[in-house]
Structure 1
Amino acid sequence: MAQMQTQRLGFIGLGEDTVSACLSMLKIIDGRSSVHWSQATPAMADVLMVSSLQEAQTSQDDLSQKPCIVIYPSSEEKPASAFALPHPFRVMQLLDVLDEVLRSLDTSSSHAEHNREVSESEGNSSLPSVDFCASLYRVINNKGSTELYSSQSPEGLLLVKPGSHRFYARPALLHALSAGPVSFSPLSPSSEPVSEGMVPRPLFELAWLTGANHCNDLLPWLDEDSHFKLSRWPSAAALNKSRQLLSLCALMTRRALTLSELKTLSHCDDKALYHFINACEISGLLVSQVRPPSAIAPSVQAGAEHHRLGGMIKGLRTRLGLS
Structure 2
Amino acid sequence: MWADTRVWKISDVGLPEDASHALHSMLKILHGKSAALWQLSRSADADVLFVGVDAGARALDVARSAGKITVAVTEGRPTTDGCSFVLQRPFRVIQLLDLLDSIAEHLRKHPLTRTLVGQPWVSSLSLREALTQPWNGWRVASTDDGGSLWLGEGRAMAEAQVMQRLRQAPIELGRFMPSERPPPETACSISLPDLGWYIGMHTSGQLAPWLDERQRYSLQRWPDLGRVGATAMILELCAEASARPSAHAELIQRTDCDAVQASRFLTAASLAGWLQSAPPRRAVRMTDAPRHGGWMRLVSQLRKRLA
Alpha-carbon offset, residue 140 of structure 1? 2.5
CA 1:250–1:217: 2 relative to 1, 3 Å: same
Aligned to 2:260: 271
Identical aligned residues as a percent: 23
- Code of the aligned partner of 1:152: S
Which of residues 193, 214, 217 is equivalent to 1:225? 214
Aligned to 2:140: 150
Which of residues 116, 124, 127 is equivalent to 1:124? 116
CA contact (8 A) 1:171 1:199 kept: yes
CA 1:146–1:277: 2 relative to 1, 3 Å: farther
Q: Structure 2 CA distance, aligned partners of 1:191 and 1:230?
A: 37
Alpha-carbon offset, residue 316 of structure 1? 6.1
Aligned to 2:182: 193
Which of residues 115, 134, 150 is equivalent to 1:159? 150
Q: Structure 2 CA distance, aligned partners of 1:158 and 1:128?
A: 19
CA contact (8 A) 1:167 1:206 kept: yes
SS at match of 2:140: strand
- Code of the aligned partner of 2:220: S
Alpha-carbon offset, residue 123 of structure 1? 6.6
SS at match of 1:151: strand
CA contact (8 A) 1:177 1:209 kept: yes
CA 1:129–1:322: 2 relative to 1, 3 Å: closer
Q: Which runs of 5+ in 1 are unaligned?
A: 1-114
Alpha-carbon offset, residue 242 of structure 1? 0.9
Q: Structure 2 CA distance, aligned partners of 1:267 and 1:308?
A: 19
- 1:189-268 aligned within 5 A: 189-237=178-226, 239-268=228-257
- Code of the aligned partner of 2:113: S
Structure 1 position 299 matched with structure 2 position 286: yes
Alpha-carbon offset, residue 254 of structure 1? 3.1
SS at match of 2:214: coil
Deviations, residues 206-253 of structure 1 (Å, cap 9, x unaligned): 223322453431111211100011222223245421122122222222
- Structure 1 length normalisation: TM-score? 0.53
Alpha-carbon offset, residue 203 of structure 1? 2.3
CA 1:198–1:305: 2 relative to 1, 3 Å: same
Aligned to 1:85: none
Deviations, residues 8-62 of structure 1 (Å, cap 9, x unaligned): xxxxxxxxxxxxxxxxxxxxxxxxxxxxxxxxxxxxxxxxxxxxxxxxxxxxxxx
CA 1:137–1:117: 2 relative to 1, 3 Å: same
Q: Which runs of 5+ in 2 are unaligned?
A: 1-64, 70-111
CA contact (8 A) 1:157 1:169 kept: yes
Larger Rg: 2
Structure 1 position 311 matched with structure 2 position 297: yes
CA contact (8 A) 2:205 2:263 kept: yes
CA 1:233–1:116: 2 relative to 1, 3 Å: same
CA contact (8 A) 1:247 1:313 kept: yes
Length, aligned pairs only: 200
- Structure 2 length normalisation: TM-score? 0.55
CA contact (8 A) 1:277 1:286 kept: yes
CA contact (8 A) 2:196 2:268 kept: yes
Q: Structure 1 CA distance, aligned partners of 2:211 and 2:161?
A: 33
CA contact (8 A) 2:231 2:306 kept: no
SS at match of 2:170: coil
CA 1:134–1:210: 2 relative to 1, 3 Å: same
SS at match of 1:121: coil
Q: Structure 2 CA distance, aligned partners of 1:136 and 1:123?
A: 18
Q: Structure 1 CA distance, aligned partners of 2:271 and 2:137?
A: 18
Which of residues 172, 191, 214 is equivalent to 1:183? 172
SS at match of 2:189: strand
Aligned to 1:109: none
- Code of the aligned partner of 1:149: R
Q: Structure 1 CA distance, aligned partners of 2:291 and 2:115?
A: 49
- 1:38-49 aligned within 5 A: none
